[in-house]
Amino acid sequence: MDVLSDVIAIMRTGQPRSALVEWHAPWGQWFPSAPGSAGFQVIIQGSPWLIPPDGDPVQLSVGDVVFFPHGHGYAMADSPATPLADPECDPLEERDLFASASIEGPGAATVLLCGGYRLDPSRAHPVLRDLPDMVHLPARLGHHPELRAAVDLLGSEIGSPRLGADTIVASLLDMLLLYILRAWLDTEPGQCEVAGWATALADPSISVALDAIHRDPAHPWTVEALGGKAGLSRAAFSRRFTSLIGQPPLSYVTWWRLATAARLLRESDDSLSEISARVGYTSEFAFANAFKREYGTPPGRYRRHVCPSSPAPAGVAQTP
Protein backbone atom coordinates (compact mmCIF):
# COMPACT_ATOMS: atom_id res chain seq x y z
CA MET A 1 0.00 0.00 0.00
CA ASP A 2 1.15 3.57 -0.67
CA VAL A 3 1.39 6.21 2.03
CA LEU A 4 -1.96 7.91 1.38
CA SER A 5 -3.82 4.58 1.27
CA ASP A 6 -2.17 3.62 4.54
CA VAL A 7 -3.35 6.85 6.16
CA ILE A 8 -6.95 5.85 5.48
CA ALA A 9 -6.41 2.19 6.40
CA ILE A 10 -5.20 2.93 9.92
CA MET A 11 -7.78 5.63 10.68
CA ARG A 12 -11.01 4.54 8.96
CA THR A 13 -13.34 2.54 11.14
CA GLY A 14 -16.96 1.48 10.82
CA GLN A 15 -19.18 2.29 7.87
CA PRO A 16 -19.17 5.62 6.01
CA ARG A 17 -22.48 7.40 5.46
CA SER A 18 -23.85 9.53 2.62
CA ALA A 19 -27.01 11.27 1.45
CA LEU A 20 -28.30 13.17 -1.56
CA VAL A 21 -30.59 15.93 -0.31
CA GLU A 22 -32.65 18.47 -2.22
CA TRP A 23 -33.40 21.57 -0.17
CA HIS A 24 -35.98 24.16 -1.24
CA ALA A 25 -35.57 27.76 -0.06
CA PRO A 26 -35.86 29.09 2.49
CA TRP A 27 -33.71 26.60 4.37
CA GLY A 28 -30.91 26.67 6.89
CA GLN A 29 -29.40 23.62 8.58
CA TRP A 30 -26.94 23.29 11.42
CA PHE A 31 -24.59 20.30 11.20
CA PRO A 32 -23.32 19.68 14.76
CA SER A 33 -19.80 18.64 15.58
CA ALA A 34 -19.05 14.93 15.83
CA PRO A 35 -15.56 14.30 17.24
CA GLY A 36 -13.92 11.26 15.74
CA SER A 37 -15.41 11.79 12.31
CA ALA A 38 -14.87 13.67 9.07
CA GLY A 39 -17.58 15.03 6.79
CA PHE A 40 -17.92 16.44 3.29
CA GLN A 41 -20.40 18.43 1.22
CA VAL A 42 -20.49 18.54 -2.59
CA ILE A 43 -22.64 21.16 -4.32
CA ILE A 44 -24.64 19.45 -7.07
CA GLN A 45 -27.12 22.28 -7.76
CA GLY A 46 -27.52 25.84 -6.52
CA SER A 47 -25.26 28.32 -4.72
CA PRO A 48 -25.68 27.71 -0.97
CA TRP A 49 -23.82 29.49 1.78
CA LEU A 50 -21.41 27.76 4.15
CA ILE A 51 -21.61 29.32 7.61
CA PRO A 52 -18.66 28.37 9.84
CA PRO A 53 -18.85 28.76 13.62
CA ASP A 54 -16.18 31.45 13.35
CA GLY A 55 -15.56 33.70 10.37
CA ASP A 56 -17.63 35.07 7.52
CA PRO A 57 -20.11 33.02 5.45
CA VAL A 58 -18.78 31.65 2.16
CA GLN A 59 -20.93 31.27 -0.94
CA LEU A 60 -20.33 27.98 -2.73
CA SER A 61 -20.84 27.05 -6.38
CA VAL A 62 -21.84 23.94 -8.30
CA GLY A 63 -19.03 21.39 -8.17
CA ASP A 64 -17.39 22.79 -5.03
CA VAL A 65 -16.24 20.22 -2.47
CA VAL A 66 -15.94 21.13 1.22
CA PHE A 67 -14.23 18.68 3.59
CA PHE A 68 -14.24 18.86 7.39
CA PRO A 69 -11.47 16.48 8.52
CA HIS A 70 -11.92 16.97 12.27
CA GLY A 71 -15.69 16.71 12.61
CA HIS A 72 -16.20 20.37 13.57
CA GLY A 73 -19.70 21.78 13.34
CA TYR A 74 -20.90 24.17 10.65
CA ALA A 75 -24.08 25.31 8.93
CA MET A 76 -25.41 25.45 5.37
CA ALA A 77 -28.22 27.71 4.14
CA ASP A 78 -29.75 29.29 1.08
CA SER A 79 -28.84 32.70 2.54
CA PRO A 80 -26.77 33.89 5.51
CA ALA A 81 -29.93 35.61 6.78
CA THR A 82 -32.04 32.42 6.91
CA PRO A 83 -32.59 31.09 10.46
CA LEU A 84 -30.86 27.79 11.13
CA ALA A 85 -32.88 24.72 12.08
CA ASP A 86 -31.73 22.41 14.83
CA PRO A 87 -30.65 18.90 13.78
CA GLU A 88 -33.65 16.65 13.30
CA CYS A 89 -31.83 13.54 14.49
CA ASP A 90 -29.03 12.72 16.87
CA PRO A 91 -25.72 12.97 14.96
CA LEU A 92 -24.33 10.10 17.03
CA GLU A 93 -27.02 7.57 16.17
CA GLU A 94 -26.67 4.88 13.54
CA ARG A 95 -27.87 5.64 10.03
CA ASP A 96 -27.97 3.87 6.68
CA LEU A 97 -25.01 3.71 4.32
CA PHE A 98 -26.80 6.08 1.94
CA ALA A 99 -30.10 7.89 1.68
CA SER A 100 -31.91 10.50 -0.38
CA ALA A 101 -34.48 13.09 0.66
CA SER A 102 -36.29 16.22 -0.52
CA ILE A 103 -37.01 19.04 1.92
CA GLU A 104 -40.05 20.90 0.60
CA GLY A 105 -40.29 24.67 0.32
CA PRO A 106 -41.56 27.38 -2.04
CA GLY A 107 -38.19 28.57 -3.32
CA ALA A 108 -35.34 27.48 -5.57
CA ALA A 109 -33.75 24.08 -5.10
CA THR A 110 -30.26 23.32 -3.82
CA VAL A 111 -28.94 19.77 -4.09
CA LEU A 112 -26.15 18.61 -1.78
CA LEU A 113 -24.24 15.35 -1.81
CA CYS A 114 -23.06 14.95 1.75
CA GLY A 115 -21.44 12.25 3.75
CA GLY A 116 -19.00 11.31 6.44
CA TYR A 117 -16.40 8.87 7.66
CA ARG A 118 -15.64 7.47 11.06
CA LEU A 119 -12.04 8.17 12.00
CA ASP A 120 -10.29 7.20 15.21
CA PRO A 121 -8.44 10.29 16.52
CA SER A 122 -6.17 8.06 18.60
CA ARG A 123 -4.74 6.70 15.34
CA ALA A 124 -4.44 10.06 13.56
CA HIS A 125 -1.75 10.13 10.91
CA PRO A 126 0.10 13.48 10.76
CA VAL A 127 -0.98 14.09 7.16
CA LEU A 128 -4.64 14.17 8.24
CA ARG A 129 -4.19 15.46 11.78
CA ASP A 130 -2.50 18.64 10.53
CA LEU A 131 -5.18 19.56 7.99
CA PRO A 132 -7.12 22.76 8.72
CA ASP A 133 -10.63 22.62 10.12
CA MET A 134 -12.08 23.07 6.62
CA VAL A 135 -10.72 22.17 3.18
CA HIS A 136 -12.48 23.97 0.31
CA LEU A 137 -11.82 22.63 -3.19
CA PRO A 138 -13.50 25.02 -5.64
CA ALA A 139 -14.73 23.59 -8.93
CA ARG A 140 -12.37 24.61 -11.71
CA LEU A 141 -12.58 23.35 -15.27
CA GLY A 142 -10.01 20.64 -15.91
CA HIS A 143 -8.91 20.35 -12.25
CA HIS A 144 -9.17 17.06 -10.33
CA PRO A 145 -11.13 15.07 -12.95
CA GLU A 146 -10.95 11.87 -10.85
CA LEU A 147 -12.63 13.64 -7.92
CA ARG A 148 -15.37 14.95 -10.21
CA ALA A 149 -15.91 11.47 -11.70
CA ALA A 150 -16.22 9.91 -8.23
CA VAL A 151 -18.75 12.58 -7.23
CA ASP A 152 -20.83 11.90 -10.37
CA LEU A 153 -20.81 8.14 -9.79
CA LEU A 154 -21.67 8.48 -6.10
CA GLY A 155 -24.53 10.86 -6.80
CA SER A 156 -25.91 8.51 -9.45
CA GLU A 157 -25.78 5.45 -7.17
CA ILE A 158 -27.44 7.24 -4.26
CA GLY A 159 -30.08 8.91 -6.42
CA SER A 160 -31.06 5.69 -8.23
CA PRO A 161 -29.78 2.68 -6.25
CA ARG A 162 -29.65 -0.66 -8.06
CA LEU A 163 -28.33 -4.14 -7.31
CA GLY A 164 -24.90 -4.00 -5.70
CA ALA A 165 -25.35 -0.37 -4.57
CA ASP A 166 -24.19 -1.06 -0.99
CA THR A 167 -20.78 -2.29 -2.12
CA ILE A 168 -20.43 0.34 -4.84
CA VAL A 169 -21.35 3.26 -2.56
CA ALA A 170 -19.00 2.10 0.21
CA SER A 171 -16.13 1.81 -2.30
CA LEU A 172 -16.94 5.18 -3.87
CA LEU A 173 -16.96 6.88 -0.46
CA ASP A 174 -13.46 5.56 0.23
CA MET A 175 -12.37 6.69 -3.24
CA LEU A 176 -13.86 10.13 -2.64
CA LEU A 177 -11.94 10.54 0.61
CA LEU A 178 -8.68 9.59 -1.11
CA TYR A 179 -9.37 11.92 -4.04
CA ILE A 180 -10.14 14.80 -1.66
CA LEU A 181 -6.85 14.25 0.18
CA ARG A 182 -4.95 13.85 -3.09
CA ALA A 183 -6.46 17.05 -4.49
CA TRP A 184 -5.56 18.97 -1.35
CA LEU A 185 -2.00 17.65 -1.28
CA ASP A 186 -1.62 18.54 -4.95
CA THR A 187 -2.14 22.23 -4.15
CA GLU A 188 0.90 24.47 -4.22
CA PRO A 189 2.87 24.02 -0.96
CA GLY A 190 2.77 27.79 -0.43
CA GLN A 191 -1.03 27.60 -0.27
CA CYS A 192 -1.19 24.40 1.77
CA GLU A 193 -1.46 24.39 5.56
CA VAL A 194 0.31 21.02 5.65
CA ALA A 195 3.17 22.16 3.46
CA GLY A 196 5.59 19.75 5.18
CA TRP A 197 3.66 16.62 4.24
CA ALA A 198 2.55 18.03 0.90
CA THR A 199 6.18 18.76 0.07
CA ALA A 200 7.38 15.42 1.46
CA LEU A 201 5.00 13.40 -0.68
CA ALA A 202 6.02 15.42 -3.74
CA ASP A 203 9.73 15.17 -2.95
CA PRO A 204 11.22 12.27 -4.97
CA SER A 205 13.80 11.46 -2.31
CA ILE A 206 11.60 11.58 0.79
CA SER A 207 8.59 9.98 -0.90
CA VAL A 208 10.74 7.00 -1.92
CA ALA A 209 11.86 6.55 1.69
CA LEU A 210 8.31 6.86 3.01
CA ASP A 211 7.09 4.35 0.46
CA ALA A 212 9.81 1.90 1.52
CA ILE A 213 8.87 2.24 5.21
CA HIS A 214 5.18 1.72 4.51
CA ARG A 215 5.65 -1.21 2.16
CA ASP A 216 8.02 -3.11 4.45
CA PRO A 217 7.80 -1.96 8.09
CA ALA A 218 9.47 -5.19 9.25
CA HIS A 219 12.73 -4.39 7.47
CA PRO A 220 15.57 -3.47 9.88
CA TRP A 221 15.71 0.10 8.63
CA THR A 222 18.64 2.36 9.46
CA VAL A 223 19.07 6.01 8.59
CA GLU A 224 21.86 5.00 6.21
CA ALA A 225 19.64 2.47 4.43
CA LEU A 226 16.77 4.94 4.06
CA GLY A 227 19.20 7.62 2.91
CA GLY A 228 20.44 5.18 0.28
CA LYS A 229 16.87 4.66 -0.93
CA ALA A 230 16.50 8.42 -1.12
CA GLY A 231 19.84 8.92 -2.88
CA LEU A 232 21.10 11.19 -0.11
CA SER A 233 23.84 11.04 2.48
CA ARG A 234 22.85 9.99 5.98
CA ALA A 235 23.08 13.52 7.36
CA ALA A 236 21.33 15.20 4.42
CA PHE A 237 18.51 12.65 4.44
CA SER A 238 17.97 12.91 8.20
CA ARG A 239 17.81 16.71 8.05
CA ARG A 240 15.36 16.80 5.13
CA PHE A 241 13.14 14.01 6.50
CA THR A 242 12.94 15.56 9.98
CA SER A 243 12.22 19.00 8.57
CA LEU A 244 9.35 17.83 6.36
CA ILE A 245 7.84 15.02 8.45
CA GLY A 246 8.30 16.58 11.86
CA GLN A 247 10.18 13.70 13.47
CA PRO A 248 13.44 11.81 12.80
CA PRO A 249 13.37 8.88 10.36
CA LEU A 250 13.64 6.07 12.89
CA SER A 251 11.04 7.65 15.17
CA TYR A 252 8.62 7.60 12.25
CA VAL A 253 9.58 3.96 11.49
CA THR A 254 8.72 2.99 15.07
CA TRP A 255 5.45 4.95 15.02
CA TRP A 256 4.40 3.34 11.76
CA ARG A 257 5.31 -0.18 12.92
CA LEU A 258 3.14 0.20 16.02
CA ALA A 259 0.26 1.81 14.08
CA THR A 260 0.38 -1.15 11.70
CA ALA A 261 0.44 -3.56 14.63
CA ALA A 262 -2.61 -1.88 16.16
CA ARG A 263 -4.53 -2.30 12.89
CA LEU A 264 -3.52 -5.98 12.70
CA LEU A 265 -4.66 -6.51 16.29
CA ARG A 266 -8.06 -5.06 15.42
CA GLU A 267 -8.56 -6.64 12.02
CA SER A 268 -6.78 -10.01 12.06
CA ASP A 269 -6.63 -13.18 14.12
CA ASP A 270 -2.84 -13.36 13.90
CA SER A 271 -1.07 -14.24 17.12
CA LEU A 272 0.98 -11.64 18.98
CA SER A 273 4.19 -13.36 17.91
CA GLU A 274 3.09 -13.29 14.27
CA ILE A 275 2.19 -9.60 14.46
CA SER A 276 5.41 -8.67 16.22
CA ALA A 277 7.40 -10.39 13.45
CA ARG A 278 5.33 -8.71 10.71
CA VAL A 279 6.18 -5.26 12.07
CA GLY A 280 9.87 -5.88 12.66
CA TYR A 281 10.28 -6.96 16.29
CA THR A 282 12.55 -9.91 17.00
CA SER A 283 10.71 -10.88 20.18
CA GLU A 284 7.15 -10.71 21.44
CA PHE A 285 8.46 -9.21 24.69
CA ALA A 286 10.14 -6.28 22.91
CA PHE A 287 7.03 -5.71 20.81
CA ALA A 288 4.74 -5.72 23.88
CA ASN A 289 6.91 -3.18 25.69
CA ALA A 290 7.05 -0.86 22.67
CA PHE A 291 3.32 -1.17 22.09
CA LYS A 292 2.49 -0.39 25.72
CA ARG A 293 4.70 2.72 25.63
CA GLU A 294 2.83 4.00 22.56
CA TYR A 295 -0.77 2.96 23.36
CA GLY A 296 -0.72 2.78 27.16
CA THR A 297 -1.89 -0.83 27.26
CA PRO A 298 -0.40 -4.23 26.36
CA PRO A 299 -1.28 -5.53 22.88
CA GLY A 300 -3.36 -8.43 24.20
CA ARG A 301 -5.54 -6.14 26.29
CA TYR A 302 -5.79 -3.69 23.39
CA ARG A 303 -7.14 -6.47 21.18
CA ARG A 304 -9.70 -7.54 23.79
CA HIS A 305 -11.02 -4.14 24.77
CA VAL A 306 -10.57 -1.73 21.87
CA CYS A 307 -13.52 -1.82 19.46
CA PRO A 308 -14.49 0.49 16.59
CA SER A 309 -17.32 2.25 18.41
CA SER A 310 -16.61 5.83 17.35
CA PRO A 311 -19.32 8.43 16.73
CA ALA A 312 -21.33 8.50 13.53
CA PRO A 313 -19.67 10.77 11.01
CA ALA A 314 -20.31 14.49 10.78
CA GLY A 315 -21.56 16.01 7.58
CA VAL A 316 -24.42 13.65 6.76
CA ALA A 317 -27.57 15.65 6.25
CA GLN A 318 -29.97 15.66 9.16
CA THR A 319 -33.00 14.37 7.25
CA PRO A 320 -36.33 13.61 8.87
For the chain, the structural domain boundaries read: 3-187, 197-305
- The percent of residues in the chain predicted with pLDDT above 90, rounded, is 43
- Pick the range with the lowest mean pLDDT from 121-125, 174-178, 207-211: 121-125
**CATH code for the domain defined by 3-187:** 2.60.120.280
Q: Which amino acid is at 18?
A: S
Strand 17-24 with 98-103, pairing:
parallel
Cα–Cα separations (whole angstroms), residue 58 to 48, 53, 75, 110, 304: 9, 12, 11, 15, 46
pLDDT band at residue 255, thresholds of 50, 70 and 90?
very high
pLDDT of residue 108: 92
Selected residue with higher pLDDT from 122 and 275: 275
pLDDT band at residue 121, thresholds of 50, 70 and 90?
low
pLDDT of residue 155: 87
- Please say if the pLDDT value at position 249 is more than 70: yes
- Please say if the pLDDT value at position 315 is more than 80: no
pLDDT of residue 278: 96
What angle do the packed helices 204-215 and 195-202 form, to 10 degrees? 90
Residues paired with residue 62 on neighbouring β-strands, in sequence order: none
pLDDT band at residue 96, thresholds of 50, 70 and 90?
low
Span 105-112, average pLDDT: 90
- The answer to whether residues 16 and 118 touch, using CB atoms and an 8 Å cutoff, is yes
- Please say if the pLDDT value at position 159 is more than 90: no
Cα–Cα separations (whole angstroms), residue 12 to 30, 122, 172, 177, 320: 25, 11, 14, 10, 27
- Phi-psi sector, 74: left (phi>0), alpha (psi -120 to 50), beta: beta
- Please say if the pLDDT value at position 314 is more than 80: no
Q: Do domains 3-187 and 197-305 have the same CATH topology?
A: no
Three-state secondary structure string covering 237-291: HHHHHHHHHCCCHHHHHHHHHHHHHHHHHHHCCCCHHHHHHHCCCCCHHHHHHHH
Residue among 199, 294, 308, 279 at smallest CA distance from 6 = 279
CA 40, CA 2: separation in Å to the nearest integer? 23
Span 266-289, average pLDDT: 94
- Contacts of 20 by beta carbon, 8 Å cutoff, 6+ apart: 44, 98, 99, 100, 101, 111, 112, 113, 155, 158, 159
- Please say if the pLDDT value at position 41 is more than 90: yes
pLDDT band at residue 265, thresholds of 50, 70 and 90?
very high
Span 175-186, average pLDDT: 86
Architecture of domain 197-305: Orthogonal Bundle (1.10)
55-64, long-range: CB < 8 A, 24+ apart: 58/136, 61/138, 61/139, 62/139, 63/138, 63/139, 63/148, 63/151, 64/136, 64/137, 64/138, 64/139
- Please say if the pLDDT value at position 2 is more than 80: no
- Please say if the pLDDT value at position 309 is more than 50: no
Residue among 75, 74, 78 at smallest CA distance from 105 = 78
- Please say if the pLDDT value at position 190 is more than 60: no
Selected residue with higher pLDDT from 217 and 308: 217
Selected residue with higher pLDDT from 119 and 179: 179
- Please say if the pLDDT value at position 26 is more than 70: yes
Residue among 122, 166, 101, 149 at smallest CA distance from 320 = 101
- Please say if the pLDDT value at position 70 is more than 70: yes
